[in-house]
Each structure stands twice: as C-alpha cells, then as structure tokens.
C-alpha cells in the first residue's frame, strides 16, 4: 500500500493559513494522572481550541488550499466538530457553506453552525446519508465537498498540533492521541517523527467502533460516549498513514471513557468530550503506560460535550465513589412516618437528593409503604453509619445497587 506523502512545506502552509485563527492551545501538567501512573503526564488542551476542537486546524488548511476554487461554496456531511470547524473557516474565507446533517442531529451543534453563517440542511436518517447528500449538492452546484479527515490538506492542518508539542514539550517521549478517521493522529505523528523518530505515538479507539483495530464495521448507528471518533471505515489516505507512522493502537471501553471525562472535570477542571478523553481512559485503564523518562502527552482533542450526558456521568461517578447512597426502606403509612425517617437521615449528616414512594411490586403489610431515597454521603464508611443508625431505630432499610 502506497503511503501518501505529507511534506513539511505543506505543514508550513497549513500553519500560515491558521495564523490568527487557530489557537496555540496550552499544555498543562496533570498532577493527578502523574501521581496515579508514576509518569510525568501533560495534557494538550485542544478542548479550548476555537470551535471547541482540533478540527479548525484542518478546516483552515483545506480552505486555504482550495483558494479561488472555493468561491462557489463548500459542503460537508456532519453533525459534529467538523461541521462547526468548516462553517467557521468558510465564514473567515468569505465563501458559502452548507452543512448536511442527519435527522435528530444535536440542536446545540446545529445552532453553532448557523451562528458561524452556515446553512443547515437535513440530509437523511444517518450520517452516511448526510454525506451522500452533501456530495450530490457539491456536484450539482459546483461547490466543493470537504472531507473531515481523508484529505492531504486536512492532515497537514492537523499536523500543526504536533509542531506545537515540539515547541512546548522539549522532553516529549510519548503521545497518546484519539484515533477516529485518522487525520489528527496521522498528522501529529508525521510532524513529531520528522522532528524525532524516537517519540512514540499511540492511537486510541473506543470499543464500540474500532476499525483500525481490525474490528469489522458495525451495522446501524454506533452508540458511544466517544461519538466524535466513531468512524466505521478508515480513509484511503489516512489508513496507510496510520499504519506507517503510529507505533501502536489500543482500544478502551465505555466505562473507562466515562471515568476519564469525570476525572478531567473534577481534577483538571477541563470539560472534555468522550472522544477527547479516550487518551486519559487508556492511561487509567492501563492500556497504555507512561514513558519511563521524559513527558507523556495526552491530546484532549475536543470539548463539545453533549450537556445531556453530564448529569448521568456525575451520578455514576458519585455512586461508584461511594458518595451517593440509594436505600429502600419500609415505613409506616401514617402521617409523619416519612418525616421521621428523613429526619433520622438528616441527623446522620446525609443530604437528601430525592425520595419516592414505592407501593407496587414489593412485599408490604397493610399499613406499610416502601420508600426509596437517594442520599449524598461522605463515603462508604459514612453510608454504613447511616444504614446502621436506621437499623438501630427499628427501620427495615437496605442499600440498593444501581449503576
């Protein structure tokens, strides 16, 4: 298989194209991850990039490479980071942009694209259908279809991230990077390996969709927290680049991605989407070890988190950490019965989050009712104390296991 050539002057051109628009995002040390893994871990915060992800690098590079041929406009099939980046780059270049999205695409992301001046068109029930519609529209109207990753100009744009790592992390020995279509991982690896071939680059995929790990394409929609890298088929350009330039590819599961997202929020104060957090997930789950010497950098590729998933992530984390206690109790179905139980919980220092009566599907006496309460506690020992106090007061209370 022929490996496409991405020359250094192409990366120079991409860097110039993004100057003044693409942010040189910060690299910050993670004390929490360094202590946990025994290595020196730094984070490349592309979640703070303009439009919320690294994609603006490739989009600016592509529009610059198109030059006057982009005047009739550009199209894309996307419902995520590529759409927002292309819309922003098109506005900057002063050319029309039409984004084709699948049905039920996230409202917030469509609103962001409209805010950048793009026209949003519903293009079918799936992302594949939206891409087909965008290609057809480009051909009919003389516009240019812009692929999110399988394009030499896009890969050159993503390579500018590697250039920044070279400048900011002089002792860089290993880079852990999300791997979806492959544009970011390939471009970054090319820039780093040209500078120092001994720097290791490790791509991370999510188990729900891992084509570079030789997983066969799945039929239908892929449901994963890391939807930004849920690409079913490697690109014709990016696949040989990934196979040639990356040192290893690993796969992480959904639970480790959820843990990584919460750790980044709680300890690093960084809001990172699932696709952007897979590198941290790989480190936490020991799929990748840090470099023995020098720095290991994890690329946080994006921060466009679907806000709807955040409450569930927090609840899951609080429960697994022992700071959320769910109990079921049988109490007297008379006035004051519930109040007395809740008072007991309060006296033990447990904070009530929610409570509901449960009368169906449980074995209750005639004047008895079931109550399920969700309590915020200090940890497992405090939870045991709360349940013990309820038992001592004569209540039939038991903890409830719930993910």
> Under a CB-based contact definition with an 8 Å cutoff, are residues 329 and 373 in contact?
yes
Residue whose pair of structure tokens reads 């003044």 in the numeric block: 20
- For 114-139, the pLDDT digits (tens) are 999 999 998 877 777 888 999 999 99
Query: 194-228 b/e with 16+ CB inside 10 Å = b?
Result: beeeebbbbbbbbbbbbbbeeeeeeeeebebbbbb
CA atoms within 13 A on the CB side of 311: 1
Identify the CA nearest to 165 among candidates 277, 24, 5: 24
Task: Give just the sign of the alpha carbon dihedral 214, 145, 60, 221.
Answer: negative
Distance (Å, whole) CA 383 – CA 341: 15
Instruction: Indicate the pLDDT class of residue 363, thresholds 50, 70 and 90.
Output: confident
Helices 55-66 and 8-18, packing angle to 10 deg: 100
The phi, psi pair for 321, rounded to 5°, reads -85, -5
Task: Give just the sign of the alpha carbon dihedral 69, 73, 79, 82.
Answer: positive
Identify the CA nearest to 199 among candidates 287, 300, 286, 296: 296
Q: 10 or 127: which carries more pLDDT confidence?
A: 10
User: For residue 341, how far is the Cα from the chain centroid?
Assistant: 41
Instruction: Indicate the pLDDT class of residue 402, thresholds 50, 70 and 90.
Output: low
**Which pTM does this prediction carry?**
0.86
**Cβ within 8 Å of residue 117, ≥6 positions away:** 87, 90, 91, 97
> Under a CB-based contact definition with an 8 Å cutoff, are residues 378 and 338 in contact?
no
Beta-strand pair 396-399/324-332: antiparallel
Q: Within the chain, what is the greatest distance between any pair of CA atoms?
A: 82
Distance (Å, whole) CA 323 – CA 258: 17
Return the H-helix or E-strand segment holding 65.
Answer: helix 55-66
Domains in the chain and their CATH numbers?
Answer: 8-54+151-307 (3.40.50.1100), 58-145 (3.40.50.1100), 322-399 (3.30.70.260)
**Cβ within 8 Å of residue 67, ≥6 positions away:** none
> Under a CB-based contact definition with an 8 Å cutoff, are residues 135 and 100 in contact?
no
Tell me the average pLDDT across 148-154: 96
Distance (Å, whole) CA 79 – CA 69: 25
| pLDDT confidence of residue 109 | 82
Tell me the average pLDDT across 73-98: 95
Tell me the average pLDDT across 212-235: 83
Residue 91: count other Cβ atoms within 10 Å of its Cβ: 15
Distance (Å, whole) CA 98 – CA 160: 26
Q: Is the pLDDT of residue 403 over 70?
A: no
Residue 347: count other Cβ atoms within 10 Å of its Cβ: 11
> Under a CB-based contact definition with an 8 Å cutoff, are residues 194 and 8 in contact?
yes
Q: Which has the minimum average pLDDT: 110-114, 128-132, 360-364?
A: 360-364
Distance (Å, whole) CA 49 – CA 57: 9
Q: Is the pLDDT of residue 265 over 90?
A: yes
The two three-digit tokens of residue 394, written as one number: 């004569």
Q: Is the pLDDT of residue 316 over 80?
A: yes
| pLDDT confidence of residue 124 | 77
Distance (Å, whole) CA 253 – CA 226: 10
Instruction: Indicate the pLDDT class of residue 321, thresholds 50, 70 and 90.
Output: confident
DSSP 2: P
**Cβ within 8 Å of residue 23, ≥6 positions away:** 48, 49, 50
Active site residues: 55, 301
The phi, psi pair for 8, rounded to 5°, reads -65, -30
Distance (Å, whole) CA 8 – CA 184: 16
Return the H-helix or E-strand segment holding 248.
Answer: strand 248-252
- For 43-71, the pLDDT digits (tens) are 999 999 999 999 999 999 999 999 999 99
């Amino acid at each position: 298989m022929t490996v496409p050539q991405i020359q250094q002057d192409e990366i120079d051109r991409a860097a110039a194209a993004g100057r003044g628009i693409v942010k040189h995002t910060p690299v910050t040390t993670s004390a929490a991850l360094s202590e946990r893994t025994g290595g020196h871990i730094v984070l490349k915060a592309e979640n703070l990039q303009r439009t919320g992800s690294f994609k603006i690098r490739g989009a600016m590079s592509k529009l610059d490479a198109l030059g006057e041929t982009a005047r009739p406009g550009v199209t894309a099939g996307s419902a995520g980071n590529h759409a927002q980046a292309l819309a922003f780059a098109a506005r900057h270049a002063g050319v029309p942009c039409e984004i084709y999205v699948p049905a039920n695409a996230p409202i917030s992301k469509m609103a962001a694209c409209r805010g950048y001046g793009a026209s949003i068109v519903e293009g079918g029930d799936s992302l594949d259908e939206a891409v087909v519609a965008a290609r057809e529209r480009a051909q009919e109207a003389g516009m240019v279809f812009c692929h999110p990753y399988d394009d030499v100009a896009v890969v050159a744009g993503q390579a500018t991230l590697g250039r920044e790592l070279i400048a900011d992390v002089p002792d860089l020995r290993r880079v852990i990077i999300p791997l979806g279509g492959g544009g970011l991982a390939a471009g970054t690896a090319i820039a780093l390996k040209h500078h120092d071939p001994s720097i290791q680059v490790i791509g991370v995929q999510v188990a729900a969709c891992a084509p570079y790990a030789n997983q066969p394409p799945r039929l239908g929609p892929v449901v994963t927290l890391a939807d930004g890298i849920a690409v079913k088929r490697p690109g014709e350009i990016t696949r040989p680049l990934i196979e040639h330039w990356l040192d290893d590819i690993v796969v992480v599961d959904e639970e480790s991605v959820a843990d990584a997202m919460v750790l980044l929020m709680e300890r690093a104060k960084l809001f990172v989407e699932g696709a952007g957090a897979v590198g941290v997930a790989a480190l936490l789950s020991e799929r990748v070890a840090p470099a023995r010497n020098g720095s290991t950098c994890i690329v946080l590729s994006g921060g466009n988190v679907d806000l709807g998933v955040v409450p569930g992530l927090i609840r899951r984390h609080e429960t697994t950490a022992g700071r959320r206690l769910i109990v079921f109790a049988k109490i007297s179905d008379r006035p004051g019965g519930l109040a007395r139980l809740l008072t007991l919980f309060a006296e033990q220092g447990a904070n009530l989050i929610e409570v509901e009566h449960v009368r169906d599907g449980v074995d209750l006496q005639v004047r008895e009712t079931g109550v399920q309460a969700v309590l915020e506690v200090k940890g497992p020992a405090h939870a045991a104390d709360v349940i013990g106090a309820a038992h001592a007061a004569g209540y039939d209370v038991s903890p409830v296991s719930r993910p």
